[in-house]
């Protein structure tokens, strides 16, 4: 068991207590919310529509993050890390994978909504469950392939410091490689896709503003896009930009805490807020396709 050496002990002890409380709260909320969401999606929607496929994968991504949080809570509550380097690497990769996979699947959801609203007829052959499953498979393959060189580099870094402290590196420089720029580039690129999708859908819905029977559905669709943009700008972008600004280094743990909250909001914003989530035969796709 390895103790963490802290500067300004009292102040950092207070910070670590706050971090433990935040991660513990995310664990307490995120686990049941995502587990219930996944159960409902599989029971009612059965991966029969693209949106169901992407939401199921988003829930899985969030659950993978949630199951890694107990050891973060333990670390910040006790100041010790008893599990060694391998567990540290795995838990770190779970967090990075959540940011990447969640941003990818949220973008898939945005593009799916874009096609359903703007090109409802021409996109039918593209918007199939089979194609969605292939896209999800490629996304997970990309995420895990990137993990291989990252894990090797991180393992070498941990061996180089000769102590297992996992999430806190004190005054030592963080591991660097060209791969550290992958996440900000990925998040920036996907954010641009979401912005363009939001603009196109908003323009299309404004053209149909007189269709009063669909006003509520239009509000729901735009709310979905607004929440997508919020997820990127509030939760994904700050922690991804960390590698570009050395002055942000003291705030790294705070940014990780903030980013982890996304797994609690995904079920609320994307699942429980929309009527189609609760209806096994009336998926959100059918509403959007009729627009």
Q: Which of the two residues, 137 and 214, has the higher pLDDT score?
A: 137
- How many domains are contained in the chain? 1
44 within domain boundaries: yes
79 within domain boundaries: yes
Q: Which residues contact 66 (CB under 8 A, 6 or more apart)?
A: 26, 27, 30, 31, 34, 263
Domain carrying residue 136: 8-161+173-273
Per-residue tokens: 148: 């291989």
Whole-angstrom distance, CA of residue 219 vs CA of residue 236? 24
Note the pLDDT tens digit of each residue in 143-167: 999 999 888 888 887 776 655 567 7
277 in Cβ contact with 39 (< 8 Å): no
CA 251, 253, 257: angle at the middle one, nearest 5?
115
In this predicted structure, what is the pLDDT of residue 82? 82
pLDDT category at 175 given cuts 50, 70, 90 is low
Note the pLDDT tens digit of each residue in 241-267: 887 777 777 788 899 999 999 999 888
In this predicted structure, what is the pLDDT of residue 284? 42
Note the pLDDT tens digit of each residue in 99-114: 999 999 999 999 998 9
CATH of the domain at 196: 1.20.1070.10
284 within domain boundaries: no
90 within domain boundaries: yes
- Listed residue (73, 108, 36) closest to 260, CA to CA: 73
220 within domain boundaries: yes
Q: What is the pTM of this model?
A: 0.86
Q: Which residues contact 139 (CB under 8 A, 6 or more apart)?
A: 57, 101, 104, 105, 108
Note the pLDDT tens digit of each residue in 49-106: 888 899 999 999 999 999 999 999 998 888 888 888 888 889 989 999 999 999 999 9
212 within domain boundaries: yes
1 within domain boundaries: no
């Amino acid at each position: 068991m390895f103790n963490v050496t802290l500067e300004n002990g009292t102040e950092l002890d207070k910070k670590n207590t706050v971090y433990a409380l935040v991660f513990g709260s995310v664990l307490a909320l995120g686990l049941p919310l995502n587990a219930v969401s996944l159960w409902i999606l599989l029971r009612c929607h059965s991966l029969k529509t693209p949106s169901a496929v992407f939401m199921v994968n988003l829930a899985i991504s969030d659950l993978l993050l949630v199951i890694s949080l107990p050891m973060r809570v333990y670390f910040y509550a006790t100041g010790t890390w008893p599990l060694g380097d391998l567990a540290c690497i795995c838990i770190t990769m779970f967090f990075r994978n959540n940011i990447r996979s969640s941003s990818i699947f949220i973008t898939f959801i945005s593009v799916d909504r874009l096609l359903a609203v703007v090109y409802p007829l021409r996109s039918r052959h593209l918007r199939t469950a089979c194609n969605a499953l292939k896209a999800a498979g490629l996304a997970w393959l990309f995420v895990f392939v990137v993990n291989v060189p990252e894990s090797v580099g991180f393992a070498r870094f941990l061996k180089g410091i000769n102590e297992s402290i996992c999430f806190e590196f004190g005054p030592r420089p963080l591991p660097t490689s060209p791969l550290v720029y992958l996440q900000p580039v990925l998040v920036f690129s996907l954010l641009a896709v979401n912005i363009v999708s939001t603009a196109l859908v908003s323009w299309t819905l404004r053209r149909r503003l007189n269709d009063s029977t669909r006003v509520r559905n239009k509000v729901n669709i735009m709310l979905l896009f607004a929440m997508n943009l919020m997820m990127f700008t509030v939760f994904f972008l700050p922690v991804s930009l960390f590698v570009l600004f050395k002055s942000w280094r003291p705030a790294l743990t705070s940014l990780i805490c903030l980013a982890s909250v996304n797994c609690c909001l995904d079920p609320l914003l994307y699942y429980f807020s929309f009527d189609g989530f609760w209806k096994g035969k009336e998926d959100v796709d059918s509403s959007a396709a009729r627009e």
